[in-house]
Structure 1
């Protein structure tokens, strides 16, 4: 291309550029900046940190020229203080975030499989105020560079030159250090139209300025980080160091002529120190306004619209007095108006952004709190409040913190310098944009920093939770082991008083005598409660607890089947923790470790010993108990490992005379425990071993127990072991929907629990074995539906075979049906005399309650209520 052609092309481009509207030019600039930011997003942490360093260094070097330029252009503030602001914006921001990870993986925990990845937000639209035109620009540019964002600045029209210069200095240093060109830019001639376009186009808006502008940012439809106005109220408590307090306020209020939004706007001194506070202000060069001066000042603090008068913002005290029409010495630090009203009609009660201060007197600390609350309501919601007080007055500090609706509560700290952070408290993040939370209508309630300009992607890998296998501390088993096991109460535990819980049959038939004889031998005194009935009631437990409280035992012994165990556990709980409410204790949980209600610590008053007399419930080794409120009919299922007995004694001598009905019902109950624990979504290798051996024992020895009774002690002992092993399995793996349904079937129609399980178990097995269920149980270690394979594993373990899993499963179902028939279990619910109309009348209620049962959640197939209803109907009529 010839030189002439180049000139013509350049001229054409220039003409096209001139023909574009300001909005179109801004849109073009934004498109270019987005390209630069996309390139920047690929930079490494090392590259970003180098750019961040060089940009901070460059801004720091130019802090004085920028300060001069800001004061010259805006006519506000103090050059020397603006130097400090610029210095702070460069040095403190760099120092705080130089080692913060903002690129790629910023956090990783391999044990939990969590990885957090930082990504930039994109293009930041930054609104810069006239009060801090260079320092805020430096701050925002630096945190954007650290987070790999582009930033387009909309300066205040009265500060556009100095703001643009601050942005230029940072941009050129960043580009010299390797940043893509065009990451940082500034609107040259800001207008409302261009500001609105910026807010529409940016990915996020970072707004610092007046309430109207911040509201516009939040109304733009884009994510916005905006901050509200301040109206910082100060309380000087009677206990405070008056000299420290007063000069801290002066130090803050005169800094840059009071233009930091955290600056104090009022001081409320308690009555007994008020005169000293007032005198200290005067001594330190502040001017207390007289009545005439007060009237003149009230006339100029606010505009007709009720906003701060821009003529006084950032001006020195003597000049403000001149504007008001009176004179004060040129070295006057603050103009102080003694006022009483905290109402919005009082101009001194507002934010003044200048060395003008309201001074209030409060009769006591409570009154001072009330006044500060009102001052915050009328213009400082969410921003900053301040308290000067002796450090020992912690109760007052707590009251102040509770009452102030502000996001920064500063103690014994100059609020301008204290609020921006890292100067008077080194854990308060340094920032020139101070969030006011929902109090002030803001999205951020802390000092804005780099984390607010990052999108954090969390990569969560699948992990299996830690599991457990919990049993009583001691489990004794073998025919005749009772006396030897009880020896430990004296020799190991040093117990002195035992309370026995049992039923009237066991008591009257002499089953408690071996226990009481041994207790007598050991010199342990005892008492006995023997009124436990099947399905024990809360009222029964309360009656027992009255005896327990009077006797004050240090060991409780439950003797019997599931009812005695449940009643004993509940009495133990009520004895140890009478304050507990059953509606809290019975609250269902998805994960016992994460339950809302945390179970109280047990065993503080007494240990618990469980001695079963039947081989079915396994309650002697489980953390479960059920109690019924006889007055309301409510059943309270209680589950927590704190209810696990401390000692279990499985002595077959207590099980030799079980009648046939109890033998069969309890035996099939134990079988169901093992089956459900084995296919539970929480099953483990530890629970599996117990479940498998339990099922093997049950198939081999339950028919012998049923047929031979006390004449087959080996079978009785093996069934006792099976019951306890199945209990250990489900105590750790939990149960399933068969038990959920059996609980309700037994409660509504008074069937023995083992029989209720027996009527449902094969139907539930077929239901669970579906390889494509509608829903699956939720637990991280359970990968996919595989209940059928688990049933087949159990079947093969006990010797059931077949050509494939389908055949093995069907043979297992038949084997369970045959076992039930051998021990006298009927086929259907209606075979037990339950009338159709009675069953159907309760069906819907049973369905919902079974769905809500604690056992349902561990079932491998998560049931729909309609599916539970179908299972109930099949169990009633027979398939």
Structure 2
């Protein structure tokens, strides 16, 4: 066949690439051109892309002729369609796509996303679709500002180079750098490997060996595997449409598209009808003898016979030693086996089709799945069925088939390459097979795979919130007003969770008197002990399940309030596991376990009787497993009570020891939240005010507690304000260490914090910590300056930050002395041998405590150990 109208590539000394040295020179030229091309605007790129597409389109016929003449594969008229598709459909798909510059910008979030080219692409082109694949890859490279160098198949080098030269010349004429597209003139395995090794990304289309080589090159590769497309025709299918479409697809360019049908699986009840339709529309069913002859044509020595690839059915029959009518579209062999020994079960890339007869749809699925496994993993599969009646079949088939393209009622050659029988599918001549087929992508390859994305992120600290109970009642005597408010809210039935001591002291009676006056039903659960256990919580839940209240009201210090919170969770969500609820997190909003939503059954009211824990306004609770001894610290804003009551009238008779311990605990809450990495202006004011109130009122509450209402009220308010601060800013390593000291040696929590706080302040208040707290809300270490601010708020004096911090530590020590806090862990009664026996374990557990993450200086385990030892001695 004489080919005209295609200018053959000129092979001058400077252009010719026939060896490694010449290739390296050419690669350097392409890379230099790409560097220049990467600066082009979107407008320039789009103009080049359009002109190159037009040029390829104009040359579609002569290029098709050249491809058939050189390779002997396919049909000129169909290759014209492929070339047309590769230019027109690809242009239409991406003409309005942005590939240059910022494509997404979030000012509030401080992030922009920018498209950048990858660099130089290596393109490996198959012999089955040489010109259309060349056009396709060259165009998407131009659209994405990438350079590209082609390694054609040796059996299709002339037509491939002719196609890409047309695209190259048009692109250069439109303004592209002259070396932006290049090729190897005399392709060899060595040069193909070198192209892949020197490129930034490989676009590999071809057989398994070539794809494997691409992935083994050491460079990123977008490769596609072989197709062995099975097609099911079920008993609900439109047989005429199915058969006509299968023949259209299988005969298109004589089966050279890798997505083309390789085997058809037809259900028994429609098999004869389908067979008659195939014959009627130009298929030829092989006899047993002819089937055996074609088996030997399909494979030679176990490998696909290239002589039959892309050949007309009548030609393939001649290879088998018999004749069929010249107009025969497809040769069909009726077969049974779906194993490797059956030649018809392999990918054939020709006008040969295998056909199976099955009794059930399930049997068809089994065969189809097996055929995919044999050689088409990840590529394509198709089902002909009644899409309305067969929803379940389609779902089952889609779930079972491990292929990237699952096509319903469409010819697979055309359906696979996209945008012909479903306009939402991506048009492409490089079809990914995903991990099933050993590929990096499972979709139709397009411009997306040829772009890098830069993320330009400006500093934005995590967005914060400030969350406290919806209602907080405070001031001396507010309990009665708060209970009346509960009644106004429609609460009629209340379970009071408390301890027996508060019942015996008459504290609980101050609430029950109001409930009785208002006619509200109530029940008392008073079994809570210090460090409440799961067993106690379960006992409380049993009461809840029997009593069915609309409100839970905890009256007490941290233990009753924590117990009530745990009971609340177990009552509303009996399915929860405490290991999940207590899972450690870095950010409470991003935790792995999502805390269940609370409040569907009960309204939670927390009434504080001590001025220290602040549990009435925090999202925290601690429960102990009495069997293992493990403590589960729960933290989530779902645990916030709906109402908090802070009435100093309930605190007047607090023992001195509890007054002191809880008061210093509240001070530690305020100090740690003020220097926390999550501290904000919303929490800072509360923390500072709490510190001032504690210094002013704690000594008086300790010495004059039963008679000094003002001091008790000041401490109550300070405790709650400090808790609001740390409930949103969190705490630090002082609390982490106190938790473990208390757990191992039964030191009261407030006392443990009091023992440790001075040493922690010294540890934190440095200009250059070894490790600053992670994800802080501030730009540089600020703990020292913030401690100095506390000293200023207390009017302690001092000229420098160091002096102010020292004065703050002395003031805290003086306050502790006033309320008789021990000066060391050993002075608190902990024996040396016992302390050192548990020291290493305490250090590790303290490091992993939930509070540690918010400390301004992120501690090493050995540094925690040093602090423990200093405080002990």
CA distance in 2, matches of 1:270, 1:373: 16
Aligned 8 A contact 1:289 1:336 in 2? yes
CA distance in 1, matches of 2:44, 2:137: 19
Alpha-carbon spacing, 1:290–1:760, altered in 2? closer, same or farther (3 Å) = same
**3-state SS in 1 of match to 2:522:** strand
**3-state SS in 1 of match to 2:307:** coil
* Residue 380 of structure 1: aligned partner: 376
* Residue 228 of structure 1: aligned partner: 225
CA distance in 2, matches of 1:490, 1:590: 40
1:263 alignment partner, one of 260, 264, 273: 260
1:149 alignment partner, one of 121, 146, 149: 146
CA distance in 1, matches of 2:751, 2:491: 39
* Residue 281 of structure 2: aligned partner: 284
Aligned 8 A contact 2:38 2:117 in 1? yes
* Residue 165 of structure 1: aligned partner: 162
Aligned 8 A contact 2:617 2:727 in 1? yes
- After superposition, the CA RMSD in angstroms is 1.9
Aligned 8 A contact 1:610 1:620 in 2? yes
The more displaced of 91-100 and 532-541 is 91-100
2:596 alignment partner, one of 594, 597, 600: 600
The more displaced of 514-523 and 610-619 is 514-523
1:520 alignment partner, one of 516, 522, 528: 516
CA distance in 2, matches of 1:561, 1:154: 78
Q: How does 1:456-471 map to 2 (within 5 A)?
A: 456-471=453-468
Matched, 1:673 2:669: yes
Matched, 1:746 2:765: no
Displacement of 1:796 after TM fit? 0.8
* Residue 733 of structure 1: aligned partner: 729
Kindly provide the CA deviation profile for residues 574-623 of structure 1, in whole angstroms up to 9, marking residues without a partner as x. Answer: 01111111111100100111111111111111111000110100000000
Matched, 1:207 2:199: no
The more displaced of 262-271 and 613-622 is 262-271
CA distance in 2, matches of 1:154, 1:194: 8
CA distance in 2, matches of 1:526, 1:246: 78
Aligned 8 A contact 1:618 1:723 in 2? yes
Aligned 8 A contact 2:45 2:143 in 1? yes
Matched, 1:27 2:27: no
Kindly provide the CA deviation profile for residues 534-566 of structure 1, in whole angstroms up to 9, marking residues without a partner as x. Answer: 000011101111111122222111111000011
**3-state SS in 1 of match to 2:575:** coil
Matched, 1:763 2:740: no
CA distance in 1, matches of 2:438, 2:778: 45
* Residue 246 of structure 2: aligned partner: 249
Alpha-carbon spacing, 1:22–1:709, altered in 2? closer, same or farther (3 Å) = closer
**3-state SS in 2 of match to 1:532:** coil
The more displaced of 242-251 and 607-616 is 242-251
Q: How does 1:71-90 map to 2 (within 5 A)?
A: 71-90=68-87
**3-state SS in 1 of match to 2:613:** coil
Where does structure 2 lack aligned partners over 5 or more consecutive residues? Answer: 1-10
Displacement of 1:425 after TM fit? 2.6
Aligned 8 A contact 2:492 2:520 in 1? yes
Displacement of 1:18 after TM fit? 12
1:544 alignment partner, one of 540, 546, 565: 540
Matched, 1:483 2:480: yes
Alpha-carbon spacing, 1:387–1:21, altered in 2? closer, same or farther (3 Å) = closer
CA distance in 1, matches of 2:303, 2:486: 80
Matched, 1:185 2:182: yes
* Residue 3 of structure 2: aligned partner: none
1:695 alignment partner, one of 687, 691, 694: 691
Alpha-carbon spacing, 1:607–1:17, altered in 2? closer, same or farther (3 Å) = closer
CA distance in 2, matches of 1:780, 1:504: 43
Alpha-carbon spacing, 1:414–1:21, altered in 2? closer, same or farther (3 Å) = closer
Where does structure 1 lack aligned partners over 5 or more consecutive residues? Answer: 1-13
**3-state SS in 2 of match to 1:611:** strand
The more displaced of 323-332 and 856-865 is 323-332
CA distance in 1, matches of 2:780, 2:219: 42
Displacement of 1:491 after TM fit? 1.7
Kindly provide the CA deviation profile for residues 36-76 of structure 1, in whole angstroms up to 9, marking residues without a partner as x. Answer: 22222222221111100100111111212212222222221
Alpha-carbon spacing, 1:238–1:526, altered in 2? closer, same or farther (3 Å) = farther
Displacement of 1:290 after TM fit? 2.3
Q: How does 1:454-853 map to 2 (within 5 A)?
A: 454-492=451-489, 494-853=490-849
Matched, 1:295 2:292: yes
CA distance in 1, matches of 2:274, 2:837: 80
The more displaced of 356-365 and 88-97 is 356-365
The more displaced of 637-646 and 412-421 is 412-421
The more displaced of 432-441 and 470-479 is 432-441
Kindly provide the CA deviation profile for residues 302-357 of structure 1, in whole angstroms up to 9, marking residues without a partner as x. Answer: 121x2321121111222222222233333322222222111111111100111222
Kindly provide the CA deviation profile for residues 3-57 of structure 1, in whole angstroms up to 9, marking residues without a partner as x. Answer: xxxxxxxxxxx99979997332323322322222222222222111110010011
**3-state SS in 2 of match to 1:598:** coil
Aligned 8 A contact 2:230 2:261 in 1? yes
Aligned 8 A contact 2:345 2:354 in 1? yes
* Residue 36 of structure 2: aligned partner: 39
CA distance in 1, matches of 2:82, 2:15: 38
Aligned 8 A contact 1:462 1:780 in 2? no
> How many residues of Structure 1 are paired with residues of Structure 2 in the alignment?
862
* Residue 419 of structure 2: aligned partner: 422
Alpha-carbon spacing, 1:182–1:480, altered in 2? closer, same or farther (3 Å) = same
The more displaced of 218-227 and 277-286 is 277-286
* Residue 858 of structure 1: aligned partner: 854
Alpha-carbon spacing, 1:776–1:302, altered in 2? closer, same or farther (3 Å) = same
Displacement of 1:363 after TM fit? 3.4
Displacement of 1:783 after TM fit? 1.2
Aligned 8 A contact 2:382 2:407 in 1? yes
CA distance in 2, matches of 1:505, 1:80: 97
CA distance in 1, matches of 2:391, 2:777: 49
Aligned 8 A contact 2:17 2:185 in 1? no
Displacement of 1:779 after TM fit? 1.4
**3-state SS in 1 of match to 2:130:** coil
**3-state SS in 2 of match to 1:808:** helix
* Residue 863 of structure 2: aligned partner: 867
**3-state SS in 2 of match to 1:140:** helix
Matched, 1:339 2:335: yes
Displacement of 1:812 after TM fit? 0.8
Alpha-carbon spacing, 1:802–1:311, altered in 2? closer, same or farther (3 Å) = same
* Residue 402 of structure 1: aligned partner: 399
**3-state SS in 2 of match to 1:566:** helix
CA distance in 1, matches of 2:625, 2:122: 64
Displacement of 1:271 after TM fit? 3.6
Alpha-carbon spacing, 1:52–1:377, altered in 2? closer, same or farther (3 Å) = same
* Residue 69 of structure 1: aligned partner: 66
Alpha-carbon spacing, 1:16–1:95, altered in 2? closer, same or farther (3 Å) = closer
Alpha-carbon spacing, 1:144–1:780, altered in 2? closer, same or farther (3 Å) = farther
Displacement of 1:422 after TM fit? 1.9
TM-score in terms of structure 2 length: 0.96
Aligned 8 A contact 1:463 1:780 in 2? no
Alpha-carbon spacing, 1:327–1:518, altered in 2? closer, same or farther (3 Å) = farther
